[in-house]
A and B are shown apart, each in its own frame.
Chain A
Amino acid sequence: DSGVTQTPKHLITATGQRVTLRCSPRSGDLSVYWYQQSLDQGLQFLIQYYNGEERAKGNILERFSAQQFPDLHSELNLSSLELGDSALYFCASSVDSGGPTQQFFGPGTRLTVL
């Protein structure tokens, strides 16, 4: 158990809909990273928040957004969903003070868009 929780585990929805994925980081970790794993692309970095502020953006679509709340949990919002958005979405947390350390990954949310 990494200490990172993600809900829901599975999500099935239709094209055009909007969903929210939730992540609670490990106690004490200020950084939350979101990654997408699709069949042919491997794990791709989407966005990072550090102590409530956006710190970095990767290949994140404009239809996607995220935020980190004062209690440090984070939500990833996916809107106007397309078939190609079907993927595993992982969040990871780390301390990120003084240099890179291992990121602890949650179990992921499997999104299926029909």
Chain B
Amino acid sequence: DQQVKQNSPSLSVQEGRISILNCDYTNSMFDYFLWYKKYPAEGPTFLISISSIKDKNEDGRFTVFLNKSAKHLSLHIVPSQPGDSAVYFCAATNSGGSNYKLTFGKGTLLTVNP
């Protein structure tokens, strides 16, 4: 039972355009969400997070939107750069527990073409 789903295994965009990566979750207990970027042969690197008390969080070129009623979040990258090419993971956790284990989606491979 996949509680966090990234339905697009891959996405290809042109440099300078917007990249939109999507993520859906099913567990209503999740209230804190994170996006990680992963290059080959490296560990995941944190990009941006959002708490369920917000519907948007922005950090430079990265913006995460959260739609709680639809249990959907998205990561927008504007403008996209070739160095953004990587696998992007959506992750979720419950802030009310005693541990903050992350439940990950399977990732979306983003390719930004020059």
A binds B: yes
Is residue B69 contacting chain A, with contact meaning CB distance below 8 A?
no
Instruction: Tell me the number of A-to-B contacts counted with CB atoms below 8 Å.
Output: 67
Is residue B28 contacting chain A, with contact meaning CB distance below 8 A?
no
Q: Given the complex of chains A and B, what is the CA–CA distance between A44 and B49 in angstroms?
A: 19
User: Could you say which residues of chain A place their CB within 8 Å of the CB of B89?
Assistant: 42-43
Q: B residues 40-98 with Cβ under 8 Å of A?
A: 41-46, 49, 89, 91, 93, 95, 97-98
Q: A50-B99, A56-B99, A100-B32 are in contact. Are A42 and B43 (CB under 8 A)?
A: no
B102 and A45 contact, CB distance less than 8 A = yes
How many residues on A have C-beta within 8 angstroms of the other chain's C-beta atoms? 29
Is residue B17 contacting chain A, with contact meaning CB distance below 8 A?
no
Q: Given the complex of chains A and B, what is the CA–CA distance between A35 and B43 in angstroms?
A: 11
Instruction: Please give me the residue from chain B that is nearest to A4 by CB atom.
Output: B43
User: Could you say which residues of chain A place their CB within 8 Å of the CB of B46?
Assistant: 102-104
A42 and B106 contact, CB distance less than 8 A = yes
Is residue B25 contacting chain A, with contact meaning CB distance below 8 A?
no
Q: A42-B106, A100-B95, A102-B34 are in contact. Are A107 and B101 (CB under 8 A)?
A: no
Q: A42-B106, A42-B107, A43-B89 are in contact. Are A100 and B43 (CB under 8 A)?
A: no
